[in-house]
Copies of this chain bind each other. A is one copy, B any other.
Amino acid sequence: MAGNVKLSVAGPGGAAVADKRIACQDCTLFQLCLPLGIGEDELALLDEVITARRSLKRGEMLFRGGAPFHAIYAVRSGSLKTYTIMQDGREQVTGFYLPGELVALDAISLGRHPSSAKALESSSICEFSFQDFERMGARVPGLQRQMLRVMSRELLNDELLLLLLGKKSAEERLAAFLLSLAIRFRQRGFSATDYNLSMSRSDIGNYLGLAVETVSRLFTRFQQDGLLRVERRRIRIHDIDRLSLLAGDTALSGSQRIDSAEVPQSER
């Protein structure tokens, strides 16, 4: 993409970095946020919708469940988890978000956030005003089109996850989870076989519907079987094929399921 980052101005007061804006074209992750089907000029327009850029430190909240919904967020760097608090007080992790993925899509219909979002590590986030976004959608057909696609993709992922939780064993779940991360990392240009988990065992277990102890045991078992090497939160996958096999076939979760093969994109 373009060479230099064109910073345009400061917004409302806040921490120094937080309110800097950068042009969308310069966002290397942009193609992942709302890929394809948007022309040069439309891209420039999209810039207008970016309300703010926020920096979060590990453990900081992006938004809280129940809060009114105004914006959609795109992860630029770092990672988030979303979760809800059940009425019995327990926490239920509903998703993990990597760079290039959109957060808060599930808040549109109710007009408030059904879940909370918290940074798993230092992260940088783009904030889109949804109102502006919709207004612009009227002028730029490609934008809303793309949005529908992104949401549909999300739906698809949820379905896969549903299948995972409904039908798969603990082993299959964890394998599918690790595989999902691998695929998502690869799509972002990172290594698919060597990455760091930004979430705790507890988060993983919670997300996959497993006890922490089970997750831990599975990690050691996978390691004993020579599938991978795990050291603290560092994952080194040795035999990704066997891992895929273990996962059943479901790539699962997050935000994409498609590998290199072909770019989705309906008929056009």
Contact = CB atoms under 8 A, between A and B. Distances in A.
A224 interface: no
**How many A residues are at the interface, by size bracket?**
35 or more
A254 interface: no
Given A161-B162, A209-B167, A149 B94 contact: no
A165 interface: yes
Interface in A37-64: none
Contact of A109 (B114, B153, B165): B153
A8 interface: no
A87 interface: yes
A38 to B, nearest CB: 14
B162 A87 contact: no
Contact of A114 (B88, B114, B156): B156
Interface in A127-155: 130-131, 134, 137-138, 141, 144-145, 147-155
Given A167-B92, A266-B130, A150 B114 contact: no
A105 interface: yes
A259 interface: no
Nearest to A165: B165
A147 B69 CA distance: 17
A34 to B, nearest CB: 12
A267 interface: yes
A68 interface: yes
A189 to B, nearest CB: 22
Contacts of A105: 152, 155
B147 A148 contact: yes
A75 interface: no
A145 B152 contact: no
A17 interface: no
A231 to B, nearest CB: 27
A165 B163 CA distance: 9
A45 to B, nearest CB: 15
Contacts of A206: 166
Given A109-B156, A162-B165, 8 more contacts: A86-B163, A86-B248, A90-B167, A94-B159, A105-B155, A110-B152, A147-B148, A148-B148
The 5 closest A-B pairs by CB, nearest first: A166-B209, A108-B152, A111-B266, A158-B158, A165-B165
18 contacts: A69-B267, A106-B155, A108-B148, A108-B149, A108-B152, A109-B152, A109-B155, A109-B156, A110-B152, A114-B156, A134-B145, A137-B144, A148-B148, A154-B155, A155-B155, A158-B162, A166-B209, A167-B209
